[in-house]
Amino acid sequence: MDITVRGEPGQRKSCAVIGAGVSGIAVAIRMQKKGYAVTVYEANAFPGGKLSSENRKGYRFDMGPSVFTMPGYVDELFQLCGKNPRDFFNYTPLDPVYRYFFEDGSVLHARHGKEQFASVMTANSVDAKEDIIKYLDKSEIIYNLTEDVFLKNSLHKLKSFFTWPTLKGILNFGKIGAFDTMNGANQKAFTDPRLVQVFNRYATYNGSSPYLSPATLNVIAHVEIVKGAYYPIGGMYSITKSLVQLAQDIGVEFRFLAPVREILTENKKIAGIRTDTGTTEYDVVVSNMDIYNCYRQLLPHAKKPAKTLNQPKSSSGIIFYWGIKTEFSQLGLHNILFSGDYEEEFNAIFSKKSICSDPTVYLNITSKHTPGDAPPGCENWFTFINTPNNSGQDWDKLILDARTHIIKKINRLLKTNIEPLIESELVFDPRVIESRTSSAFGAIYGNSSNNKYAAFLRHPNFSKEIKNLYFCGGSVHPGPSIPLSLLSAKITSNLVK
């Protein structure tokens, strides 16, 4: 077994990053810029974790995230390294953002911007344009009050609380909707059940139920509708590709097919890591691995923060990556085919741990923007439904059921028969998501936010037990999604002395 010694006198301090998810890549860039010699260890043969890409029979698919918000957090990494982001990575604003299809046969194209969104969504609605504007104004207030407290700082360091923006957030806690559920607040705001459903859907952005999660999550509406959603030129994977390129340009070393087996400690301080080829000493270790599995697999002897780790986990998903040999003009880049009974859908996921017979279907078709993602005259359909995480269900049966329900629903709402048009198929379920990214139980977003304390019960970005051990990514503070995972990397690197 090789033993590599790092950190000899005169050498730069060394940092190992475990995982090349978007957060791991971002933290590697930040640590390298801080003066560390950084090596990223990735279990897979490819970077990006959930933010990866695959080609299949002439179709290209982004395998995970598809909605890109707050692009400035990607740009910031290039600027930090003195580079022009546009030389590496570009994106375009989306308008409309979504096409919403309802079981009553109505279709709404959600526009970008408060005014435009409110006008379109209230055409033929019992609710007024002003109701939506008032709602989005409230959602902006939540954003302004929570941004510093919950997103930009560690919630677990006392000094974070002694800044004016943070104190303001705490003093106005009553205004952030923590004491109502998302559905409760949305029912109060709107009479039109379609509007309630549109705004309730934002709970799924972190794998939660609108009937259980706090109305604070209404903040997501502000981020997407007002701040905007974007399409990265070349697809979502261009985020991963360009950040890896940047990291390599500034000297970060990547090792693929290199799963870390153990985080080594000595006297409650980081000593290094163990991989299949040996042990290597490091001054600092940052884990981008899902926090639950990190403690279970890499820190078998460490004291575990049981309360944090045992919080209920988020939902997962079944994804059919379909090559469709025709084009549908009624579909756009992002399409939501809503279920007729939303409450039953979430009840099935979070109480029955199963799926309902009329799930909401999300269709993401990147060939609408990047024609090369599908053969001419064809479309690449990322077809997603929310599911429970893996607690041992019969997934093979659930996949067959889901396929039947989804096809029936699409046929009904698009007035067509898509089954004979599917010419290639690849399926992901919670078991695949776990084996591909190490996400505990295949939960996509770490802990769920199905209670008002969830934000406080995410693991901190540092270890309270082991010096020089840090954590970043969607399963720890501040939470899942590309922008929050990037913020997680920023908070983490700021914590390193």
Ligand X SMILES: Cc1cc2nc3c(=O)[nH]c(=O)nc-3n(C[C@H](O)[C@H](O)[C@H](O)COP(=O)(O)OP(=O)(O)OC[C@H]3O[C@@H](n4cnc5c(N)ncnc54)[C@H](O)[C@@H]3O)c2cc1C
Residues that bind ligand X (CB under 6 A): 18-24, 41-44, 49-51, 64-67, 259-260, 288-289, 317, 319, 433, 437-439, 444, 473-474, 480-482, 485
Question: Which residue number, 50 or 409, has a Cβ lying nearer to ligand X?
Answer: 50
Other Cβ atoms within 10 Å of 228 Cβ, number: 17
Residue 227 CA, chain-centre distance (Å), reads 17
Token pair listed for 193:
């059940």
Question: Which residue number, 323 or 478, has a Cβ lying nearer to ligand X?
Answer: 478
Residue 137 parent element (H or E)? helix 129-146
- Residues 27-46 as b/e (b if ≥16 CB within 10 A, e otherwise) read bbbbbbbbebbbbbbbbbeb
Judge whether 385 and 328 are in contact, CB under 8 Å.
Answer: no
Question: Which residue number, 24 or 234, has a Cβ lying nearer to ligand X?
Answer: 24
Output DSSP code: residue 304.
P
Alpha helices in 181-253 (DSSP H): 182-189, 193-200, 219-221, 237-249
Question: Which residue number, 254 or 328, has a Cβ lying nearer to ligand X?
Answer: 254
Token pair listed for 255:
């090792």
Question: Which residue number, 136 or 319, has a Cβ lying nearer to ligand X?
Answer: 319
Closest distance between ligand X and the C-beta of residue 196, in Å? 22
Closest distance between ligand X and the C-beta of residue 64, in Å? 4
Judge whether 380 and 365 are in contact, CB under 8 Å.
Answer: yes
Judge whether 232 and 89 are in contact, CB under 8 Å.
Answer: yes
Closest distance between ligand X and the C-beta of residue 50, in Å? 4
What length is written for the chain?
497
Closest distance between ligand X and the C-beta of residue 295, in Å? 12
Question: Which residue number, 367 or 481, has a Cβ lying nearer to ligand X?
Answer: 481
Closest distance between ligand X and the C-beta of residue 423, in Å? 22
Closest distance between ligand X and the C-beta of residue 388, in Å? 14
